[in-house]
Chain A
Amino acid sequence: MRLLSFIKKILDTVLAVGAIVSMVCMVVTVLIQVFARFFLPQAPAWTEEASRIFFIYITAFASGLALERNAFVSLGIIEQYCRGRLLFFVRLLVGCVSVFFALLISYVSFEFVEVGTMQNAPTLRFLTMDYVFISITLMMGMVGLYGVIDLLNIIKSQVCMKEKTK
């Protein structure tokens, strides 16, 4: 368990750093675009594409952390009326479905990534699109992974509650 929480801490840090770096890069790239338009004879064509890629990577790095912080909105009508074991099963069901869905999209996105190996970015010619498309694999993969961690926490808290009532 200690090893697991250590790995999770590292993962949290890597994703947070990735999201922050992507955010800073996006801001800097758009600023270059604004600066070039005002002060240079010609604005570079690559800035728009680069800023979009950084933007997608912000989402890719931060989506797992968003799941952990409950940032994805839900209605949860049934959850409001459930108590005890029933609530546990509803949460378990929602968690399992979320994990299954996220990992499924992450898996099928490999085919999308493969398509990207045959394409170059329109303005960043050195970049093949698989490096961009893999952001979707990362995004949904991390949502799936954090979903598994969330599931483990739900089960753990239920076991703890059972032990307390005993």
Chain B
Amino acid sequence: MSGVVLLFVIFIVGLVIGLPIAFCLGLSSVVYLIFVDFPLVVAAQKLYAGIDVFVLLCVPGFILAGNLMNNGGITERVIGFSNALIGHIRGGLGLANIVASMIFAGISGTAVADCASLGAVLIPAMKKEGYDAPFACAVTAASSTIGPIIPPSLPMIIAGTLTGLSVAKLFVAGAIPGVLLGVGFMIVSYAISKKNKHPKGERSSLKLVLKEFRGAFWALLMTFIILYGIVGGIFTPTEASIVACVYALCVGIFIYKDLPVRLLPKILLDTAITTASLMVLVGMANLFGWILTSERIPTMLANEMLEFTQNKYLLLLLINILLLFVGTFMETIAALVILFPVLLKIATSVGVDPIHFAIIAVLNLMIGLTTPPVGVCLFVTAGIGKISLGQISRAIVPFLLISLVVLFLVTYIPQISLFLPSLLN
């Protein structure tokens, strides 16, 4: 048995028996190193080198900024503003849910966190207003997937770090696809609400809209600071994330006055723990990736696929199907660290722009978060809405279909992703 076969066998067995994915990557790599009689100290070196990357500091930065904002009373204000803006349309609360997710997307960068924090407020409110629970849960789950597409985005930081792509360009590239996804969800939500005669709220007076805007202004400003700072070349993504933390802290304590100082140690610790779980994964993936590269696996795979077809569009379709399948049962970051560097090699060999491909990959994996039967966001919202997985699986279908339409557009019209990054040049 060759070392590479052993590497994959142990990796797959580990996954199946429930070993954490980070350890599957590490253990299979260590067994490989023993098999080929290579010094084991390289495992520690690669683990360290995988984490010792300045741009990865964005990860705790944006997680901390999101946690500070969430605990600082932003959720209700963003929802209030979105509702004042479009709550008077039929199914307005569903639309407000999507708009709130899009605003939230500019702050946190993770889908599951957005899903939990917005869902906890919006799903009970929608049920109370007379919306059916499966719709309320489905619209929350679907819209939360916009989070990691619109910048800032944790998956894009990881994708950039793994492959040396510019995180700033990746962030900017996600903006139009994210907005497209949001608009698509709003169209579907409106159509369903009209068909099912969902309630509509009263039209808010301009005075109320302005009042709610003042409440949400500081959250919107944070998105602007992050984006303008990165795009304008004022901050690196890492610096932008830390500035966002300080901004969120000041807004929570001094402006909203909803962030108790006694909560800070818990928020910091929660951020550290989430960061640690991701960084061990990234470090182990670096070791695993180093072995794959030294065995020339990505090149071999690329050659195999190119032998099968050199048609760029067919190849992208195959990659989309693979990523959609993997995204249904594997956590986004884990799937990204395992597959993205290998697939990028294949995609670029047929002339796909790496930034464009990164957006395609992240969008695929985000769709996986709401794909039955194992989409994490489905579990989170079904739990909040107290409905079965079967009910939400049926309700999510129209949103999934529109996600696939957006994925199709993003895949085959590269300008959607590449227009804004081209302005950066």
Contacts and interface: CB of A to CB of B under 8 A. Distances in A.
B21 interface: yes
Interface stretch (B47-55, B101-109, B379-387, B393-401): B47-55
A61 B273 CA distance: 9
Contacts of A139: 276, 280
A66 B273 contact: yes
Contact of A30 (B16, B43, B242): B242
B30 interface: yes
Nearest to B242: A30
A interface, by DSSP: helix, strand, loop or mixed?
Answer: helix
Interface in B255-296: 265, 268-269, 271-277, 279-281, 283
A58 B276 CA distance: 7
Given A16-B269, A23-B64, A94-B19, A108 B57 contact: no
Interface in A104-121: 104-105, 108-109, 111-112, 115
A72 B246 contact: no
Given A20-B272, A133-B48, A55 B18 contact: no
A136 interface: yes
A108 B40 contact: yes
A116 B51 CA distance: 17
A59 B64 contact: no
A143 interface: yes
Given A72-B20, A73-B277, A101-B27, A24 B268 contact: yes
Interface residues of B, number: 56
A101 B280 contact: no
Given A23-B271, A66-B273, A66-B277, A55 B51 contact: yes
Interface string A45-66: 0001001100110110111011
Contacts of B48: 56, 112, 133, 135-136
A97 interface: yes
Contacts of A159: none
A56 B283 CA distance: 11
B interface, by DSSP: helix, strand, loop or mixed?
Answer: helix
A20 B243 CA distance: 18
B27 A52 contact: no
Interface string A17-39: 00110111011001101100000
A52 B330 contact: no
B44 interface: yes
B215 to A, nearest CB: 26
B314 interface: no
A34 B246 CA distance: 12
A20 B44 contact: no
Contact of B54 (A19, A51, A58): A51
B250 interface: no
B157 interface: no
A131 B53 CA distance: 18
A23 B272 contact: yes
B280 A143 contact: yes
Query: Which of A26, A79, A143 gathers the greatest number of chain B CB atoms within 10 Å?
Result: A26
A50 B252 CA distance: 28
Nearest to B31: A101
Sorting the interface of chain A by its residue count into under 10, 10 to 19, 20 to 34 or 35 or more gives 35 or more
A101 B20 CA distance: 12
B276 A65 contact: yes
Contacts of B30: 101, 104-105
B247 to A, nearest CB: 11
Interface in B1-49: 14-23, 26-27, 30, 39-41, 43-45, 47-48
Nearest to B24: A74
A22 B272 contact: yes
A76 interface: yes
A102 to B, nearest CB: 8
B26 A27 contact: no
Given A20-B272, A73-B334, 6 more contacts: A23-B271, A66-B276, A72-B22, A73-B20, A73-B21, A101-B30
Interface of B: 14-23, 26-27, 30, 39-41, 43-45, 47-48, 51-54, 56-57, 60-61, 64, 235, 238-239, 242-243, 245-246, 265, 268-269, 271-277, 279-281, 283, 329-331, 333-334
5 contacts: A19-B272, A19-B273, A61-B276, A75-B16, A79-B18
Interface of A: 16, 19-20, 22-24, 26-27, 30-31, 33-34, 48, 51-52, 55-56, 58-59, 61-63, 65-66, 69, 71-79, 90-91, 93-94, 97-98, 101-102, 104-105, 108-109, 111-112, 115, 133, 135-137, 139-140, 143
